[in-house]
Amino acid sequence: MCGIFGVRGNPQAAELVHLGLYSLQHRGQESSGIVTVDDAGRAHSVRAMGLVSEGLAESEMPELTGSVGIGHTRYSTAGSSVIANAQPVVASVRGGAVALAHNGNLTNATELRRELEDTGAIFSSTMDSEVIVHRIARSTAERPELRLAEALTGVEGAYSLLVLIGDTLLAARDPRGWRPLVMGRLGDSIVFGSESCALDIIGAQPEREVEPGEIVVVDREGVRTGARLEASESRRCVFEYVYFARPDSRVFGGSVDRARRSLGRRLAKEHPAPNADLVFSVPDSSNSAALGFAEESGLPYELALIRNHYVGRTFIQPTQGARDAKVRVKYNAVREVLDGKRVVMVDDSIVRGTTTRGLVAMVRAAGAKEVHMRVSSAPVTGPCYYGIDTPTREELIAANLTIPQIAEHLGVDSLGYLSLDGMLQSVPDGPHGFCHACFSGDYPTAPPTDPDKLRAGCGC
Amino acid sequence: MCGIFGVRGNPQAAELVHLGLYSLQHRGQESSGIVTVDDAGRAHSVRAMGLVSEGLAESEMPELTGSVGIGHTRYSTAGSSVIANAQPVVASVRGGAVALAHNGNLTNATELRRELEDTGAIFSSTMDSEVIVHRIARSTAERPELRLAEALTGVEGAYSLLVLIGDTLLAARDPRGWRPLVMGRLGDSIVFGSESCALDIIGAQPEREVEPGEIVVVDREGVRTGARLEASESRRCVFEYVYFARPDSRVFGGSVDRARRSLGRRLAKEHPAPNADLVFSVPDSSNSAALGFAEESGLPYELALIRNHYVGRTFIQPTQGARDAKVRVKYNAVREVLDGKRVVMVDDSIVRGTTTRGLVAMVRAAGAKEVHMRVSSAPVTGPCYYGIDTPTREELIAANLTIPQIAEHLGVDSLGYLSLDGMLQSVPDGPHGFCHACFSGDYPTAPPTDPDKLRAGCGC
Amino acid sequence: MCGIFGVRGNPQAAELVHLGLYSLQHRGQESSGIVTVDDAGRAHSVRAMGLVSEGLAESEMPELTGSVGIGHTRYSTAGSSVIANAQPVVASVRGGAVALAHNGNLTNATELRRELEDTGAIFSSTMDSEVIVHRIARSTAERPELRLAEALTGVEGAYSLLVLIGDTLLAARDPRGWRPLVMGRLGDSIVFGSESCALDIIGAQPEREVEPGEIVVVDREGVRTGARLEASESRRCVFEYVYFARPDSRVFGGSVDRARRSLGRRLAKEHPAPNADLVFSVPDSSNSAALGFAEESGLPYELALIRNHYVGRTFIQPTQGARDAKVRVKYNAVREVLDGKRVVMVDDSIVRGTTTRGLVAMVRAAGAKEVHMRVSSAPVTGPCYYGIDTPTREELIAANLTIPQIAEHLGVDSLGYLSLDGMLQSVPDGPHGFCHACFSGDYPTAPPTDPDKLRAGCGC
Amino acid sequence: MCGIFGVRGNPQAAELVHLGLYSLQHRGQESSGIVTVDDAGRAHSVRAMGLVSEGLAESEMPELTGSVGIGHTRYSTAGSSVIANAQPVVASVRGGAVALAHNGNLTNATELRRELEDTGAIFSSTMDSEVIVHRIARSTAERPELRLAEALTGVEGAYSLLVLIGDTLLAARDPRGWRPLVMGRLGDSIVFGSESCALDIIGAQPEREVEPGEIVVVDREGVRTGARLEASESRRCVFEYVYFARPDSRVFGGSVDRARRSLGRRLAKEHPAPNADLVFSVPDSSNSAALGFAEESGLPYELALIRNHYVGRTFIQPTQGARDAKVRVKYNAVREVLDGKRVVMVDDSIVRGTTTRGLVAMVRAAGAKEVHMRVSSAPVTGPCYYGIDTPTREELIAANLTIPQIAEHLGVDSLGYLSLDGMLQSVPDGPHGFCHACFSGDYPTAPPTDPDKLRAGCGC
C-alpha cells in the first residue's frame, strides 16, 4: 500500500508535501520521496528508505524549490525493498520533467511492460508504475491531461495517481476507484491526499474525492476536470474502511471512524457474547470497532492491551524460544483488567492468525477465563491484486481452515466474523460499489498473469 | 526521567536487557546503553543517542558477552544531549569494573561533586550519577553491597539504581522511594526493571518492589537483601501513577491502569459536566482516566483525537505560521465525533498549556460547541527536583495564572483540576507516603543549591 | 574523467571488479559502482558516492553474484555530483538487463537525446551515456555485438565502453580511440580496464588494447572481435600520457613512465636551466618528468615538495586569509633542500595557475633564490570536449595571458613550456594520431552545441 | 604512535588545531580529537574514529569556541580501537577542566594505575595517559605548571604532552626526550606540534624544541619555562629520523630529509652494489634514503614502484589466494624500469618482512634479473616500549633469522642492513643521546611489567 500527496500553487510546496506524508505514514513505511518542479521547469527530488522522519530531512526541503510538488510513502513488501523502487518516479521526457506517485496495483503491468520493451523502452525499476511514465512519454498529445488520458487508456487495475508534467499537477483515479484520493484547498493552493487526514495536518479544507475515472488538472489557469476515462462500475476497496485508512480520515466520502463504529455495532448484533464481562480492542486500528461492539452490546469497554509505539521495524529475535515473544515486544496485557474475566477481544481482521494467536495466549496468561474473539470483517480468503499486500492463499488462515478450526488454532472460546453482507451494509454508501474480492473471491478483473512478479515489484 | 533494567544469571543477558529497554522507552528517548560483565570480569558496553531501536543494534548484542547486565534509557533534556551523558556509567576501579544505571535526581550532587574534586577525583560527564561511582571507588569496604551502602550514605535525593560491581548485580532505592523498581524472576535468573511491563516483555514473573532504602544483592550465592540505608518517610512520586508509568505496569505495588481509572472517576465526581454529550481523552496517556470519567459520569466514551505515532523527535517547523501547526503534526480531531457536540476533554496534567491550547482550538475547529476541560491531577505549580524534567516555575501555567485565567487562556468553557486530596486518595495505597511537591510545594528535601546545573546535567 | 573495468568468466567477478576499481581511483573519485549478471540473467548492482573504499563495502561483494561484471569510477565535476549520475547505468530492456560503463564524452549527446525524447524515451539521469543505453534498447538486431554496433552508429565523440547485454560482456572504443582500454587474461577469464595497472592489481596478463572502432565480444563461445565501426583517423588523448594515467600503466600500447621521462628530457633540451642548482617535481604526477629533466640536464634530482596524502576531498577553508593556505594543506616545502638554491620546478601542466602560484610562493618562502618553472606539456589554451574536465577558456591561464605574463603572475624567474611538437614527438608512437585539441585548438569534431550542459551532466 | 598539536592566543584555535592534525595524520590514523577551552573556562571537545578528514568535520570547529586548544591523532593498534581510547582525554577536576594529549608510552603505568585505583580513582579508558590526568587532579599545587610537574614526578617512560588546565596551555617532554615536540609562533599565538610540518601548515614560525624534562607554560602572562623535571640522559628515538617523521619536518632540531639522505649515503658506503643498474625506493618513506644511496653510489635513481594512495585502511581479502595480493593493492611495479635489470631496492626498515617479500616477488615478476635489498637502518630485534607499535619479538624477522636466512626468505640476491654505528653517526647530532633499544636491546628503562596490556591499551 502507499500514500500520495500533492500541492500546487504554494511557495512552500515541499514543506507541505513533507507534512502531508507524515500523516500518510501508516499507508507505507518502507521508503518515501518528494519531487517539486520550479518555475524554470526543473525537477528537484529526494527519495530515501525508511520513515519520513528518518529519510527525508526537513533541512533538505528548501532545496526542493518550486510551488508544485508531489510525494509518496511506500509499503514494505518482501524482496523489493530497494531505493530504486522508491517513488515518486521522476524522468526527463520530451518537453521536460515528468514525476509520478502511484497508489494501487496494475493487473496488466507485465503485458504493458513487455509491449514497451519490445519497442525499445528501458526500465530503471521493477515497479508497475514505471509503465505509466513510459506511456506518458510516448503520447503524442500536447495538453498534459490528454497525455495522461492517452497513457492510461488500456491500463488495467488500481491506480490513484498524482502526476507532474512540467509544472502541471494532475490527479487521476482508475474508473473503478479502488483507492481513495481527496482534493482540497489551502488558501489559493490546490491539495490532494490519499486521505483527508493529510489535508488536516496542513490546515487545508477537504472539498471532494477525485471521482473514479476522472483526471483533474491544476495549472496556471486553475483547477478543472481535464478528462474522463471510460466509465466502469465503482469498486472502492472496503478494506480501507475496515483497516487501512486512519480513523480520523474521510475516504470515499465517508468517515472511517463512523464506518468502524458501525461495523462494531453490527458485529455485536451478528455475534453477541451475552455472558461476557467486558470488551476490548487490539489497538489501535480496532479501537472504533470495539467501541461500537461495546455500545451495541452494553458491555463495558476496557483498555486491556497496551501497544508499544517505540518498536522499530527491524525484526526482533525471540530470545526465549517462546511462541509469543514477537507479540510481547509490541503488546502487553493489563492483568488488572483481565484477571478472572470473560472477555470479548475485537480485531478488524485476521490474515495469517499468528499475531492473534499470540495475543490470545497473552490475554489468557493475564488471567482471562474466557476469550471470545470477534472480527469486524469477513474471513480473508484470497489475495488482493489491487494494492494491499496480502500474502498468498497458502498463508491465509481462512482460506485453509474452517471457522471452528480457526477458533481452535487461535485458542479462543468462541469466534465470530462479521458476515460479508453485514460488512458491506455497515460501511458508508454501501452495500454496493465496493471491491470485496479478498473476502468473496469476486475479482473485478482478470487476475494478473504473473502475480508473484507483481507482488515482488509492484508500484504499491 | 529514565528507565533502568538489569538481569543476572542468564547467558542471554544482553538480549534480555535490550528487550527490557524497549518496554521502558517511554521513560527516556534521548539515549540508551547496555553494559554486561563476563565470567572473566571484563565489562562490555554500548551506548548510543536516540531510541533503542535506532541506537542499539541487535547485531551488537552477541558481543556483549556475560550472564549479568544492566541497561538504561535516558530522557531528553535541553542542553545536555551528548553521548558523554548516556548511561550506564562504566568505569574501572580497584577490584575491577563498575557500572551504574540511575533513575532519579540527587539534590546534593553539587556539594558531593565539589567534595570529590577537592580530593582529586576526575569527572567525565556532567551527570550527578557519576558521584555515586566515585564514592563506590573510594569505599574501603570489601563486599559489594557494603561498598554501595557506604557510597550512598550522605547522598540526598531520588535514586533507583542498578549497579554492577564486577559480576555482582546490586539494586537499590533511596530511603524515600521516589522512583519505582520492580524485581522478578525468569527461570533461575533475577530481573529488575523500573516498571513491571519490562518484566512482562521477557516473560518474567514480577515478585515485589525493591523496598525504599533496601540494597538487594544478586551474586553467585543467590539473591538477598544485602543492606538497608537509614530509614526515612516514604515519598513515592505520585506523578508515576498520574502520567509517567505505562498503564500496563504495576509500580509501587499498584496497577497504573487502576490508578488512572480511579483518578478519572474521582475527577467526574469533583468536576462533573452534566450537560455534556460525550467524553474523550488526549491519547494515549489519558485514556484510562477518560474511561474512568465516562464510567462515573455515564457519558459515552469517544475517540475524538487520533495521535500520529510516526512523528519523529525532530522539531517540525510550522510552515504556515499557524499557532497549532505543531499540534497538528501529532494529533488530529475526528469531526464526525465532535461536530455540534458539548464535549469533555480529559488530560492527565497541564504543564505549560501550549499543547492543550492547540488541541482545544483543533477540537473547536472540528465543530465542538462546548469544550469542558478536565484534568486528572492537581495544578502543577512547582518544579520537580527528583527526576521529572518539569520546566522552571516561570513556564508552569498554573504557577502563574488562576484557574479562571487558565480556562480563558486555553479557550475552554469550563476547567476542572482534580484536587490534591482527591488525587492522593485515588491512587493505590494512598493518600500517605507520596511526594506531591510539584503540586503542593511540600518538598521533602532542601532544594538543590544549583537547580539549573542539575537540570542541565542530571543523571536522569 | 572516469575509469572502467570488466571481467567475464570468473566466479569472483564482483571482487575482481572491486579490486580493479581501486587501481583506477585516480581517474575518478566522485562516485563508483559495480554491476554483475548472474547465470539466471539477473543484474545485481551497487553504486555509491565517494571513493571505492568509502562507498563500496567489500562485504557487499558476495551479494553481487555472477561470473560477469563491470565497474566504473567517476570524476568529480561541479554541479552534477548526485547518485543518479553514478555509473554503471543499469536498465531492463527487451531481452533482459543492460549495463554500461563509459569513459569519455559524446559531442552530439544533446541532439541524440532530443531525438530519443521526441520518440518517447524517458531519461533517469543527465548523463550523455544514457543515450547509448536507449539506442541499444531500440536496436532490432539480435546478437549483442550488433545491437551495440547499431547503437553506436551516429554517436559522435569519445567513448571507451564496457557493456553487459545479459551475460555477454562487450568492450568498445570510438573510432578515434580517444580513451584507452586494455584487454587481458586472468586464467580463463577475460578482463578489461582503462589502464594496465588495473590488470596488474588482480594479477592478470595484459594482451592488447581494444582497437579504435572495435567491438570485442566475450560470451560463452569465447572472446572475439564482434564488429568494427566505420574507421576514422586515430586521435588518442595525449593528456593521458602527460598527466592522467598512472605511471605504472601502459596505455595506447606505450609506457606512461617512459613517456613522461621522455617528455622531461625533451623539456630539458628545449628549456635548459644552466645555472640552476637542482631540479624537483610537483609530486606525484610530475615525478617521472622531473627525473627525465634531471637526467638530461645533469642537475641533481631532489625531493623538495612533500605531498600530504591524507587530505580529504572536502574543501578546507583557509583560516588565515593567506593566499596559499589551500596549497599548504596539500603540500609542504623542505627548507633544507631549497634554502639559498636556484631551483627548477617541474610540473606536468598548468591549468588555472592557482596551485602553481601558491607552490612558487611556498618554495620561495623556504629560501629558494631563483625559481625556474618548467612544464612538460604545451600551454593549455582550450577546453576538452572528450572527457577531461578542463575549465572554460576564461579560466585557462594560457588562453588569457602571454608566457611572460604567466611567468610574472606565477612569480617565477623563468618559465618554459614544452612545445607542441616536442610533446608529440616524445610520447610513444608519436607524433601522429593524437588529439591535442586543448593545446592546439585543432578539434577533431565539431564542438558540442551545448558544451555547458555537457560539462554539467556528462558521462565522464 | 601519535601526533599532538596545541595553540594558545588565537580566536581560531580549533581551526588551527584541525589543520595541524591534518599534517600529523601520518603519526596516527585510528582516531583523532580536539579540545578547546573558552574564556569562561568551559571545555569543548570532539573525538571521532578514523582520519581527521573523516571524523572531525570542519563544520564542527565553530562550536569549539575559545582561543586555546589541543588536538591528537592516534595510531591504530590491535584490539583497543574504541572511541573511549581517543584523545585528548578531557575531565572536570577541582578548579575546572583538564585536557591532555599524549605521544609516547609510560613504562610504569600499570603500577601507577594500581596505586590510583587503590586510593579510589575511577578510570574511563584503558590508556596509560589517563593516570597523568588523575595525578594532576590529585596535586595540591596551585599553579598549573607545578600541578603538572608534581603529577609527572615518578612517571617513567616516554611522553611528549600538551595539557590544558583551565585556559593555561602546558607542553612537556619526559627527561629523556624520546618523542619530539616543536614550539613556534603564529603572530602573537604560541603553537606546539609533534613535528615542524604541523607549524608549516598554518604558516607558523618554528622556534625551538621543548627541551627534555622541560615544562613550558603559556598563559595570560605569556610563554616561559615553568618547571624542569629531574634531568636524565637524552634518549631521542632514532626511528623518528629513520621512518616515522615526515621528511619535510625538523625534529630534535634536525632535518628529517637530510637525516635520511645521510643514512642512504652511508648505506651505499657500507653495502655497495657495484654491478647494479639502478636504485629505487619503496615509496614514500624511503625516497630520501634511496636518493642518498643513488647519490653516493652513482647509480641512477628510478621510480620503479608506484603506491596507490586511495587504498582505505580496511583490510582487503586476497581474492586469488596469491601471497602477494595484499601488496598488489597498495603497490605496483613499473615493468619498463625493471625489465632485465639488476636493481637495488632501498627500504627504511624491515619489521615482519611480509610486505618486503611481496614487493620482491612483484619486482621480479616485472622482469628484474637481480634484486639487491638495502635497508637504511639496523635490524629490528626487539619491541619498542616507548611509543612505536612494533610487534612482539616472535614476529620480528630479524629477531628470529640470521641475515642470510632473511635474504633467502625475502628472495633477494643480496641484503645489506645499515650498521647500528653507521645509523647513529648519520643522523643529526648523533651518535650519542639516542634510544636504539629496538635495534640494540639497550633499553633505557626497565621494561613494563605488563607489556601486553600496555600495547593493548596504551596512550599511543
What is the tens place of the pLDDT at every residue in A397-445? 999 999 999 999 999 999 999 999 999 999 999 999 999 999 999 999 9
Q: Which residue of B has its CA nearest to A306?
A: B248
Question: B333-355: per-residue pLDDT in tens?
Answer: 999 999 999 999 999 999 999 99
Query: D48 CA to chain B: closest CA distance, Å?
Result: 12
pLDDT digits (tens, 9 = 90+) for A185-209: 999 999 999 999 999 999 999 999 9
Give the percent of chain A with pLDDT over 70.
94
Identify the DSSP state of A315. Answer: -
CB pairs under 8 A between A and B: 141
Closest CA to C125 of A70, A91, A100: A91
Amino acid letter, C147? R
Given its phi and psi angles, is residue D282 left (phi above 0), alpha (psi -120 to 50 degrees) or beta? beta
B84 falls in which pLDDT band (50, 70, 90)? confident
pLDDT at A318 over 50: no
Q: Distance, in angstroms, between B71 CA and closest chain A CA?
A: 17
Nearest Cα of chain C lies from the Cα of A70 at a distance, in angstroms, of 18
Other C-beta atoms closer than 10 Å to the C-beta of C321 total 6
Residue A334 predicted with pLDDT over 70 = yes
In this structure, are residues C215 and C161 in contact, taking their beta carbons and an 8 Å threshold?
A: no
- Confidence at D142, pLDDT banded by 50, 70, 90: very high
Does the distance separating the beta carbons of D332 and C248 come in below 8 Å?
yes
Asked if the Cβ–Cβ distance from C124 to A124 is below 8 Å, we say: yes
* Chain B contacts to D (CB-CB under 8 A): 90-95, 98, 117-124, 126, 133-134, 137-138
* pLDDT tens string B142-190: 999 999 999 999 999 999 999 999 999 999 999 999 999 999 999 999 9
Cα–Cα distance measured from residue C16 to residue C198, given in angstroms and rounded to the nearest whole number: 10
Q: Which residue of C93, C117, C118 is in closest CB contact with A122?
A: C93
pLDDT at C324: 63
Nearest to A101 by CA among A136, A76, A129, A80: A129
Contact predicate B368/B398, CB 8 Å: no
Is residue D242 within 8 Å of residue D375, measured between CB atoms?
no
Question: Testing the interface with C: which of A47, A119, A124, A164 to mutate, by most C Cβ within 10 A?
Answer: A124
Residues 6 or more apart whose Cβ sits within 8 Å of residue B173 = B159, B160, B161, B179, B181, B209, B210, B211, B212, B213, B214
Of D91, D94, D126, the CB nearest to B124: D91
Question: Within its chain, how far is the Cα of B13 from the centroid?
Answer: 23
CB contact under 8 A, A93 and C123: yes
Cell numbers placing C399: 588562453
pLDDT tens-digit readout, A344-400: 999 999 999 999 999 999 999 999 999 999 999 999 999 999 998 888 899 999 999
Instruction: Please give the pLDDT value at position B455.
Output: 44
> Rounded to a whole number, what is the distance in Å from the CA of D92 to chain B's nearest CA?
5
**How confident is the prediction for chain D on average, in pLDDT?**
93
Record: contact D94-B123, CB cut-off 8 A: no
Asked whether the beta carbons of residue C117 and residue A92 sit closer than 8 angstroms, the reply is: yes
Chain C residues with CB-CB distance to A40 below 8 A: none
D163-216 pLDDT, tens digit each? 999 999 999 999 999 999 999 999 999 999 999 999 999 999 999 999 999 999
Q: Which of D122, D124, D163 to mutate to test the interface with B (most CBs of B within 10 A)?
A: D122
DSSP A58-94: GGGGGGS-SSEEEEEEE---TT--SGGG-SSEEEEET
Q: Using 50, 70 and 90 to split pLDDT, how confident is the model at B389?
A: confident
Neighbours of chain B (3+ CB pairs under 8 A): A, D
Compare all CA atoms of chain C with the CA of A134 and give the residue at the minimum distance. Answer: C122
Cβ-nearest to C123 among A92, A120, A138 = A92
Residue D1 has a pLDDT of: 83
Task: Indicate the average pLDDT of chain A.
Answer: 93
pLDDT digits (tens, 9 = 90+) for D2-13: 999 999 999 999
Q: What is the pLDDT at residue D319?
A: 47
Is C2 labeled as catalytic in the residue annotation?
yes
Residues A6 and A193: their CA atoms lie apart, in Å, by 6
Give the chains touching C; criterion: ≥3 Cβ pairs < 8 Å.
Answer: A, D
Q: Which amino acid is at A389?
A: D
Q: How far away is chain A from the Cα of B441, in angstroms, using its nearest Cα?
A: 33
- Using DSSP bridges, classify how beta strands B342-347 and B278-281 pair: parallel, antiparallel or unpaired: parallel
Contact B332 A29 (CB under 8 A): no
Helix axes B144-152, B129-138, angle to 10 degrees: 130
pLDDT for B310: 85
Residue in chain D nearest B132 by alpha carbon? D122
Cell numbers representing residue B444 in the block: 521533602
| pLDDT given at position A77 | 55
Q: How far, in Å, CA of B286 to CA of B308, rounded? A: 16
Contact C303 D247 (CB under 8 A): yes
Given pLDDT bands bounded at 50, 70 and 90, which one contains residue B214? Answer: very high
From C2, C197, C435, C460, the catalytic residue:
C2
Q: How far apart are CA A71 and CA A81, in angstroms?
A: 18
Contacts of C117 in chain A (CB under 8 A): 92-95, 137
Query: Given a cut of 60, is residue D321 above it in pLDDT?
Result: no
Helix residue spans in C366-402 (DSSP H): 397-400
Contact A312 B247 (CB under 8 A): no
Whether residue C303 and residue D19 make contact (CB cut-off 8 A), yes or no, is no
β-partners of residue A215 are A172, A227
Which residues of chain C fall short of a pLDDT of 70? 76-81, 312-324, 451-460
Q: Are D108 and D448 in contact (CB under 8 A)?
A: yes
Question: How does DSSP assign C190-223, residue by residue?
Answer: EEEESSTHHHHTTTPEEEEEPPTTEEEEEETTEE
CB contact under 8 Å between A92 and C138, yes or no, is: no
If you average pLDDT over residues A269-289, what whole number do you get? Answer: 97
State the smallest CA–CA distance between residue D94 and chain B in angstroms. 5
Residue among A307, A395, A305, A385 at smallest CA distance from A345: A305
Cell numbers 568551559: residue: D42
Chains B and A touch (3+ CB pairs under 8 A): yes
Residue in D closest to C314 by C-alpha: D53
Q: Are A248 and B334 in contact (CB under 8 A)?
A: yes
Residue A121 to residue C123, Cβ atoms within 8 A: no
| Calpha distance B105→B86 (Å, rounded) | 15
Q: Find the mean pLDDT for residues D387-399.
A: 91
What pLDDT is stored for residue C452 in this prediction? 58
H or E stretch including A110? helix A109-118
Q: Nearest CA of chain B to the CA of D18: how many Å?
A: 21
Asked if the Cβ–Cβ distance from A53 to B311 is below 8 Å, we say yes
d(CA C136, CA C98): 8
